[in-house]
Amino acid sequence: MRCPSLEEIAGILLEDDSSSRFRDFMTHLDTCRRCQRSLTDLSELPMDHDIGDIFTPTRKMVHSDDFESPSKPFGIMPDDKPTQLDHLIFETKIGEGGMAEVYKCFDEQLGRNVAVKVIDSSVMSSRNLVRLEQEARIHAKLKHPNVVSLLEFKVANGLPYLIMELVEGGTLKELFKTHTVNPRTLALILRDVALAVQAAHDLGILHRDLKPANILLEKRVKSGSSDSSSLFSGNSLVPKVSDFGLAKLADSNTDLSKSAMYLGTPAYMSPEQTMGDSSRIGPRADIYSLGVILYEGLTGRLPFVGDDLTELFGRIRHNLPVLPSEIQAGVPHDLETICLKCLEKDPRARYAKAADLAEELTRFLDGNPIYARPIGPLRQLVRWARRKPVLAASLVLLIAEVITFGIWNMRSAATEAEARVREAEARVKESVARAKAEQKADELQEDYENLKSQYSYAINLTHSNADELERIISKGSREQDLRKFKWKLRGQRGELAERMIPALDGDPAFDTLLAKAYYLSGVRKKRHGDHMAAAEQFRNSIDKARSHFASGKTSLDHRYYAMRSFNLLAESEIARGNYEAALKLLKEAWDNYASHGDDFELTRAAKVMSMQTAFRLIHCLEILGRFDETWRISTDLERIERVPVQNGEFDVDILY
Asked whether residue 596 is domain-assigned, the answer is: yes
Domain containing residue 638: 514-656
Asked whether residue 650 is domain-assigned, the answer is: yes
Tell whether pTM > 0.85: no
Query: For residue 137, what are the contacts with CB-CB under 8 A and spacing of at least 6?
Result: 47, 51, 153
Asked whether residue 405 is domain-assigned, the answer is: yes
Find the CATH number of the domain harbouring 122: 3.30.200.20
Q: What is the pLDDT of residue 350?
A: 92
Asked whether residue 413 is domain-assigned, the answer is: yes
Low-confidence ranges of the chain (pLDDT < 70): 1, 5-18, 22, 26, 29-31, 33-82, 97-99, 120-129, 131, 157-158, 221-235, 244-264, 277-278, 373-494, 496, 499-500, 503-512, 548-558, 597-602, 645-656
Same domain, 1 and 97: no
**CA 379 – CA 369 distance, rounded (Å):** 21
Task: Please identify, among 69, 92, 118, the residue that sits at the C-terminal boundary of a domain.
Answer: 69
Same domain, 129 and 186: no
Same domain, 499 and 528: no
Task: Please identify, among 118, 137, 164, the residue that sits at the C-terminal boundary of a domain.
Answer: 164
| Nearest Cα residue to 102 out of 82, 113, 121, 118 | 118
CB 573 within 8 A of CB 582: yes
CB 200 within 8 A of CB 247: yes
SS3 state of residue 248: strand
Strand partners, 239: 217
**CA 102 – CA 84 distance, rounded (Å):** 14
Same domain, 490 and 615: no
Asked whether residue 278 is domain-assigned, the answer is: yes
**What is the 8-class DSSP label of residue 643?**
S
Query: For residue 543, what are the contacts with CB-CB under 8 A and spacing of at least 6?
Result: none
Task: Please identify, among 69, 97, 123, the residue that sits at the C-terminal boundary of a domain.
Answer: 69
Q: What is the pLDDT of residue 145?
A: 92
Q: What is the pLDDT of residue 86?
A: 80
CB 232 within 8 A of CB 179: yes
Same domain, 146 and 182: no
Same domain, 461 and 538: no
Asked whether residue 379 is domain-assigned, the answer is: no
Write down the H helix ranges in 107-227.
Answer: 126-140, 172-178, 183-202
| Number of separate domains in the chain | 5
Q: How, if at all, do strands 215-219 and 205-206 pair?
A: unpaired
Query: For residue 378, what are the contacts with CB-CB under 8 A and spacing of at least 6?
Result: 407, 408, 473
Find the CATH number of the domain harbouring 615: 1.25.40.10
Same domain, 159 and 178: no
CB 369 within 8 A of CB 496: no
CA dihedral 168, 172, 178, 182 (to 10 degrees): 120
Q: What is the pLDDT of residue 94?
A: 85
Query: For residue 238, what are the contacts with CB-CB under 8 A and spacing of at least 6?
Result: 145, 146, 192, 217, 218, 219, 220
CA dihedral 402, 405, 411, 414 (to 10 degrees): 10
Same domain, 260 and 188: yes
Same domain, 237 and 153: no
Q: Is 276 left (phi over 0), alpha (psi -120 to 50) or beta?
A: left
Asked whether residue 382 is domain-assigned, the answer is: no
Same domain, 226 and 148: no
Same domain, 154 and 176: no
CB 202 within 8 A of CB 155: no
Half-sphere exposure of 42 (CA within 13 A, CB side): 29
Asked whether residue 509 is domain-assigned, the answer is: no
Find the CATH number of the domain harbouring 281: 1.10.510.10
DSSP assignments along 289-335, one per residue? HHHHHHHHHHHSS-S---SSHHHHHHHHHH--PPPHHHHSTT--HHH
CB 275 within 8 A of CB 576: no
Same domain, 145 and 283: no
